[in-house]
Structure 1
Amino acid sequence: MKKGFTLIELMVSITIVGVLMALALVAINRVRESSRRAQCFSNMKNVGTALHSFYDARNQYPPASEWSTPGEPLGNNRYPIGVIDRVTATTEDDRLKGNWCIYLLPFSEEQSVYDNFDSRKPLHEQEMVYSVDIPFLKCPSDGYNTLDNHYQRSFTVKNKGYARANYALNAGTNKACMVNVREEDDPPCPDGWTAGGNNLEINNSQLWGSGIGGVNKTFRNGDFPSGLSNVVAFDEVLVGRHEWDRRGAWALGFAGASITAVHGGGPNGGADEITGCSKIPVSYLRDLPCSPVESNMIKEVNMQGYSRSAHPGGVCVLLLDGSVKFIDDDIDKDLWREIHRRDSSKIIE
């Protein structure tokens, strides 16, 4: 007589099969993520190729963003990254022009998009530019960077929205204070931001930190005394998950959109501090923290944009020499800040 499975044997067999399936699923997910990360590396290298092509043509790197007048005087506790954001709500649209990403388009097989850009017009009037999804600016690990997740700059009037990207220019990890534009009673600022003029209403002032570009500010190879192989040019970022979350909007020359700034806490660190945080539903911020900051001059400012990724354990960065590295989340914070400086003396292993 043939002996059948006992109930215990059947349960053990089912358990073993379940464990094997779970292990197989983990292995498959690892392979898929490895493939996605490799594609992310490749896309970042394409950014680097465009960056160096731009340099060869212009003998300088692009600015982080470009702003025009009018504006308001700095100082009086005016946060510098707020200038990257906006000066006053009534003049923001008229002042924001291009940014690094727009200027790299002709060097990245996106000439047709760039041909629609008019440098004489404010960005908000150029929907045929900012609404275009650029494939090589996306990391496939970020499942929220999709065609139906564009940033809506207006809370009341919808349009095609701003397309998003997963790579942002390093403007510096400096503190949120001014080096040379402050009131006499302000505390010293040894590691802050530098302004080329203290009144944006009178002149088209520049603003820059320790990174590779600033507001209306460009740099050349000679500005990097330690060479190009140990300075981060671009950080990986995650895109916003709500239509009112500007993070990752590639055409916006804002901290937290196409620029990383004041993020000395390391990759996947603290909350981003950007305009509009208070309007985003909390459920969209649980895995992508965002904290509104209020100053005594405007309600919210773009002060801080961290490097983030969907890769387990770290982020991808593009170095100024065009190479790509994976940086662990637990990197020494001093080293992280150092490799984001133009005069970095540290070596990235």
Structure 2
Amino acid sequence: MKHRKNRPQYDGFTLVELLVVIAIIGVLVGLLLPAVQSAREAARRTQCMNNMKQMGLAALNFESAYKHLPTGPMDGDPEAINLDGSPNHAGRNHGGRAPTYGGTVCCRAATRRGWNHFFKILPFMEQQVVYELSRDDPPYWPYVTNNAGEDDVAKVAIGGYHCPSRRSPKLYDNNLRARVDYAGCAGFMHGPTIAGTNDIPEAPLGEGPEVSERGSPNMGDTPGRKGVIVNPALGAKRLLSEITDGLSNTIMFGEKSLPKDRHGVDGGDNERWNNAGWDVDDLRYHFPPIPDAQAPPYKPGTTGSTAWRRYFGAAHAEGLNATRADGSVNFYSYMVDPEVWMYLCICDDDATIDEEAL
């Protein structure tokens, strides 16, 4: 007798069951994706904090070596000369010889002694090789191509000077110069209403004479409104003993606000990372911090406010990192009380900080 062989039975999904499984997977992915993105941002924020911690330690090691904190940048040079060796008065004027800045030349120092705080702390950040790309050239003015090796240094994108939440280290200006995502704190800013910054908060948060960051009150050394970073053209140096508000109550470095679609080209991000002169590329003032997403687009002249360029801020959604004068790093919310933030940015106002407002 012949026996019929049973065919194997295959169980499978019905179309409805398959659609249900796909829907469940989609929901799970939707739930997990924000968590993954949040974890990645937390890691980037931590790396940013580590960057700022290294800068703080480097600044304090600099202070141990030179008995003052790293000075900020300046424009020109107090001893600026022409190519024939004769005095260049325009360059010297921008170096701070006059009571206030005059002339029309700006935005770079003539020698490396006038480069910024980020350059000066390189040897204390294990970047001696980059530091030694610079030279002690004469203070020629106006600009001489690659004077003192400024472009050789600018071509090196320092990873520790970039916040990973904003961008990776890269070169701009036809791959010639890098930028920096951090800024030194220059204290209180007397607002430049003539530059279209009419929306600066009322006193005591910013109203003042019609001057720019290159005006004499805004060099980081106005008594009662001093910043940790100071313009050195007239010989100013910030001593630890001058930070009378307390090292842990004073901001030295912070992240800078920058519109996300203007990297490398905006007025607050268009100069060499090492030599931008006394400029908002590497300096910020006491104004309440704002996130990149709220930084308004660049508007030339007086057609709109560019005051935000003087603000600290960050690419982080909730706040920014800042290094205090004792080398510690704290994360501050964008909702920080504006007046308390102002006190943090000034090192000699003798104000009491309300910790609950941070």
TM-score, normalization: structure 1?
0.71
Identity across matched positions, percent:
27
Structure 1 residue 221 corresponds to structure 2 residue 237: no
8 Å CA contact retained: 1:230, 1:347 = no
Work out whether residues 255 and 304 of structure 1, in 8 Å CA contact, stay in contact via their aligned partners in 2.
no
* Alignment-derived partner of residue 212 in structure 1: 228
Cα offset for 1:95? 4.7
Task: Provide closer, same or farther for how the CA distance between residues 113 and 242 of structure 1 changes in structure 2, counting only shifts above 3 A.
Answer: same
More helix by share: 2
Equivalent of 1:47, from 52, 55, 69?
Answer: 55
Q: Paired residue for 2:178, among 150, 160, 163?
A: 163
Instruction: Tell me which of 153, 157, 161 is aligned to 1:137.
Output: 161
Supply the distance in 1 between the matched residues of 2:125 and 2:49 (Cα, whole angstroms). 16
User: Equivalents in 2 of 1:308, 1:206: separation in Å?
Assistant: 21
Q: Secondary structure of 1:264's match?
A: coil
What is the alpha-carbon distance in structure 2 between the residues aligned to residue 164 and residue 151 of structure 1? 8
Q: 1:347 to 1:71 in 2, by over 3 A?
A: farther
Match of 2:5 in 1: none
1:99 aligns with 2:107: no
Are residues 1:236 and 2:261 paired?
no
The answer to whether the 8 Å contact 1:151/1:246 transfers is no
Contact 1:142 1:238 in 2 (8 A): no
CA distance in 1, matches of 2:107, 2:321: 32
In angstroms, what is the RMSD of aligned CA positions? 3.9
Equivalent residue number for residue 266 of structure 2: 245
Q: In the alignment, what sits opposite 2:331?
A: 326
Runs of 5+ consecutive residues of structure 1 not aligned to the other structure: 75-79, 153-157, 179-187, 270-285
Runs of 5+ consecutive residues of structure 2 not aligned to the other structure: 1-8, 79-88, 95-99, 194-202
CA–CA distance in structure 2, aligned partners of residues 130 and 302 of structure 1: 26
Aligned to 2:353: 346
Q: Secondary structure at the match of 1:229?
A: helix
Report whether the alignment pairs 1:37 with 2:52: no
Q: CA 1:128–1:141 in structure 2 vs 1: closer, same or farther (change >3 Å)? A: same
Aligned length: 296
Larger Rg: 2
Give distance in 2, aligned partners of 1:191 and 1:210.
Answer: 16
Q: Does 1:335 align with 2:340?
A: yes
1:128 aligns with 2:135: no
Selected match of 1:255 from 279, 284, 293: 279
| TM-score, structure 2 normalization | 0.69
1:46 deviates by 0.4
SS at match of 1:165: coil
Q: Secondary structure at the match of 1:113?
A: helix
Match of 1:11 among 14, 19, 32: 19
- Contact 2:154 2:178 survives alignment (8 Å): yes
Report the alpha carbon displacement of residue 242 of structure 1 after superposing the two structures with TM. Answer: 4.5
1:166-206, Cα deviation, whole Å (9 max, x unpaired): 2210112423259xxxxxxxxx999758x9xx999xxxx96
Deviations 1:109-151 (A, max 9, x none): 11122122234446862211122111222222112x432xx34
CA distance in 1, matches of 2:326, 2:69: 12
Alpha-carbon spacing, 1:139–1:87, altered in 2? closer, same or farther (3 Å): farther
Pick closer, same or farther for the CA change 1:345–1:192 going to 2, 3 Å: farther
Structure 2 CA distance for partners of 1:211 and 1:14, relative to 1, 3 Å: same
Amino acid at match of 1:259: L
2: CA distance between counterparts of 1:53 and 1:331?
30
Q: Distance in 1 between matches of 2:164 and 2:215?
A: 42
